[in-house]
Amino acid sequence: MRFNISSLATLLVAAGFVAAQPAKPHSVNPPSNQNARVDLTALPPVDVTPVTNAKRFAQGLPPLNPVKRHPHRGGPHRDGGYRHGGTRVEFAPRSETSSTPSANVKCNVLVKAGDSTLGYISPVFNDYGEYGTFQSEYAGSLEVSFSNSGSASGPVDFLATNNADTINSFPYLSGALGFMSDGDDLGPGNPNYLVVTGNSGSTGSGATPSSLTGNSYVTRTGQSANSETAIWTYDPATQDIRVVWTNTDGGSVPTKLIYFVDTDPADDNANTLIATGDVSAFRDTFGCTDTCPEITFTCVPPA
């Protein structure tokens, strides 16, 4: 699949998503002067081999530690910074176990806003350690790998396989609570949001928001944010990819995806992929109706 886009701004204008704003939209990211800009490519690689309690017992080791819960309160701490450790689990859906053997699925992620194609997700983080850049070509775009039994299931872990930043240190595609979020929960009437990022390890299937493993946004900026990795659902019938978040009470929240176009000239390379439980509440809070179109993710397998 090939298409041409001279720039995202031009495409959004042509698609009718960008118009004169009544007021300057708020940014979803920290101010530029609060971004530590840690070099993520300089970090050592992490081991992505799944580790189970059975394997640890066979080696005479104690069981894996339970997932830690650290609800985010917006304080100036650095939870979620880069760490080597963390519970690694098998790719497993939260639903009942299927009798059908799971197969490994690989695909690149195509992003659309309505009928308009924005592009494939680029395998390069933006200036805040988030995914938010598109490219027109399938070749070289972000490739993800995950386990699927042949039916709609999830949420599961997605592994990024072709980003130098993610392969080294943050291979688990994740969602981290956004800078302006007030707490760790999403839902109707709540403007809280996630930024799409990478984690150094799995936070575990069904886990609530935590700082158990390192996160690319947290490490890059020096800000604090809890995150989850097993948030991705996939429907092989439609190739649709969605995000389901687990709130602090353990409840699952379906989300909508948004592409946030940062219009502040001081925030270079800050466009960001967002997930939120309430698009209207998010738009009302950030004043971005015309610069944060709702989007979809589609899995495009190799030809």
Across 121-142, b (16+ Cβ under 10 Å) vs e yields bbbbbbbbbbbbbbbbebeebb
**Would you state the pLDDT for residue 170?**
94
- DSSP bridge partners of 296: 112
pTM recorded for the entire structure: 0.78
Distance, CA of 73 to CA of 77 (rounded, Å):
10
82 with 258: CB under 8 angstroms? no
> Which parts of the chain have pLDDT scores under 50?
1-22, 55-57, 59-62, 64-65, 67-79, 82-98
**Would you state the pLDDT for residue 166?**
66
Distance, CA of 255 to CA of 154 (rounded, Å):
14
